[in-house]
A and B are shown apart, each in its own frame.
Chain A
Amino acid sequence: MTTAFLAFYSVWLREAVRFVRQPNRIVGAVGPPVLIWLFVGSGFGASFRLAGESGVGYLEYLLPGIIALIVLFASIFSAMSVIEDRREGFLDGVLVTPAPRSVVVGGKIAGGSSQAFVQGAILVLAAPLAVPGLGLGAVATALGSLALVAVGLTAFGCAMAWRMDSTQGYHAIMNLLLMPMWLLSGAVFPLTGAPVVMRWLMLANPMTYAVAAIRGPFYAGSAASAPGPVSFELAIGVTFAFAVLMAALATAMAARPARA
């Protein structure tokens, strides 16, 4: 048990130290979504009207989705280090030690999701500036949701990255998969107004629940908190299940002997 914890801590610590020593990564992950938020949010703001007349402006509506996008970018980026570690030979050095692979993967997911969480948290903590009347309890709940989302997405990224040998290929696949997932998550427009086929796609999309889990505490009580059939409880449940499932998948990927 002690040895497993030591290995887990060691892998996590390395990710944390690397993160702190490369502050430009924070700018890279937080900057673009914030710009999207400001440009798209204020550009569309005049023509956006949420059904039900809740009085929520587009900048406000978009904010939870933007936080989800930051976590998405950060998680996927940190999981990419699996590929770099493999290419440079660092991963071999880890796999020849007695540390169990499941623990190594667990540490990697913990390290990556910590980074993603910190980056997303910057915006959650700043959210009361954009959403007047946002209480401390709501911010705390949103941080909890954020942590779950970060673990799920980082584990997903690790599972995808484990068998890949090129960061370009990983980027291409992730962009192909993740941008549509984000666009169809209710981050940019609510489920309610969407055509039926799209609504089904959105309901099958784990990002929909991730965004809803972050959005829930922001507008508790207002119509914007639960656009369509996804309640906050359902969103948290699905997001939790997704995180567990992806962590299991990433561990299973690592348990099989790697190709040379």
Chain B
Amino acid sequence: MNAVDVQGLSHRYGERVALRAVSLAAPGGCTYGLLGPNGGGKSTLFRILSTLLRPTDGTAVVMGLDVRTEAARIRPLIGVVLQGSYLDGKLTVRENLMYRGRLHGLYGRRLRNGIAGRLAQAGLADRTDDRVETLSGGLRRRCELAGCMLHDPSVLLLDEPTAGLDPVARAEFWTALEAAKRERDLTILLTSHIMDDAERCDRLALLDAGEVVAEATPGELKSSLGHEVITVQSSMGADLVDRVRERVGLNAAWTGEHVRIRVDDGKAWLGKLIDAFPGEFTSIALSRPSIEDVFLAEATGGTEPEGLTP
């Protein structure tokens, strides 16, 4: 059974269309990543799935229940962390989780033991009685994760759970998430900008301007991107895109800050580019492809750049 099933879902805020006939399905037990630029519609989709917003059109089904008509039955089954924080900085970690647990109808020993267990799992046991305002961003995220699982939900909806975290905090967050997943049958939907997050998902959907522009596994996504990316900064700005094509025959893309070129053999192309543009770059760097490159590729029609090999 699909834990989350979305068919032809559309949403409009007045004139502005946030979602355009989105369809996607997350099988039970999978980790499903939604990637996309800000304003792409991810948060709207999450607000609909978490029963906060009624869609304009189409259907969204969570654990076999329709968000339109069975919201009250969905709420006990989902654990939700949206953008912004549901934690109150003036309360301690324990008080925040007690608050949340009671809203889910938990109390007494069961609630206390649940909180202790979740906090231990999240590596927060020693911060239980500290006020949330004293926690770092990474600890806060893990605290939110612990809190949204107190009632043993079947589906987690996490909107940008790793935003603003450094790589170490992000890795710790994933450790906590994977520990929770091993313990029970849990379907996770999350949004992210970060390639590392995408690689940990079983399945990915790319959402841009309210539409699903691609659905793939992380492997498929990466192989469509080429192996490496050369990032160039120069005083030429966007004009560099045309000159790169003229001089070395590579397709490049302008990101608004710098020019990115996808290549197979980065080391060889690095030298060729520097020879072709002597002294004209302010910087040049070689890196692995990122989510941004997927969108640049989609924005330029999704075609593979020519001349992948030197």
Interface stretch (choices A4-12, A116-124, A132-140): A4-12
Contact pick for A88, options B76, B85, B107, CB 8 Å: B85
In the complex, what distance in Å separates the CA atom of A82 from the CA atom of B271?
Answer: 59
A97 & B100 in contact (Cβ 8 Å cutoff): yes
Given A3-B105, A9-B102, A89-B85, A96 contacting B51 (CB threshold 8 A)? yes
Contact pick for B102, options A7, A18, A92, CB 8 Å: A7
Shortest CB distance B102–A (Å)? 4
Shortest CB distance A110–B (Å)? 15
B105 & A89 in contact (Cβ 8 Å cutoff): no
Given A6-B107, A17-B95, A96-B50, A90 contacting B102 (CB threshold 8 A)? no
**Which residues of B have CB within 8 Å of A34?**
none
Interface residue? A22 (CB, 8 A): yes
Interface residue? A204 (CB, 8 A): no
Q: How large is the interface on A (under 10, 10 to 19, 20 to 34, 35 or more residues)?
A: 20 to 34
A89 & B86 in contact (Cβ 8 Å cutoff): yes
Interface of A is mostly: helix
Given A88-B84, A92-B52, A92-B82, A13 contacting B105 (CB threshold 8 A)? no
**Which residues of B have CB within 8 Å of A99?**
103-104
A89 & B83 in contact (Cβ 8 Å cutoff): yes
In the complex, what distance in Å separates the CA atom of A13 from the CA atom of B95?
Answer: 10
Shortest CB distance A175–B (Å)? 26
- Please report which residues of chain B, range 53-94, place their CB below 8 angstroms from some CB of chain A when the two chains form the complex: 53-54, 72, 75-76, 78, 80, 82-88, 90-91
- Mask, A237-260, CB within 8 Å of B = 1, is 000000000000000000001101
Given A17-B90, A21-B90, A89 contacting B82 (CB threshold 8 A)? yes
- Mask, A75-115, CB within 8 Å of B = 1, is 00000000000011110111111110000100000000000
**Which residues of B have CB within 8 Å of A2?**
105, 107
A18 & B90 in contact (Cβ 8 Å cutoff): yes
In the complex, what distance in Å separates the CA atom of A88 from the CA atom of B279?
Answer: 49
Shortest CB distance B117–A (Å)? 19
In the complex, what distance in Å separates the CA atom of A86 from the CA atom of B123?
Answer: 29
Q: Give me the interface of B with A, judged by CB distance under 8 Å.
A: 13, 44, 47, 50-54, 72, 75-76, 78, 80, 82-88, 90-91, 95, 98-100, 102-107
**15 sample A-B contacts, Cβ–Cβ < 8 Å, listed by A number:** A6-B107, A7-B102, A7-B105, A10-B103, A14-B88, A18-B88, A89-B82, A96-B75, A98-B76, A98-B103, A98-B105, A99-B104, A257-B52, A260-B13, A260-B44
* Smallest CB-CB A-B distances: 6 pairs: A89-B84, A93-B86, A10-B102, A3-B105, A97-B103, A99-B103
Q: A88-B85, A92-B82 are in contact. List 17 more A-B contacts (CB 8 A).
A: A17-B91, A21-B90, A88-B84, A89-B82, A89-B83, A90-B86, A92-B84, A93-B87, A93-B100, A94-B86, A96-B50, A96-B75, A96-B80, A96-B82, A97-B75, A97-B103, A260-B52
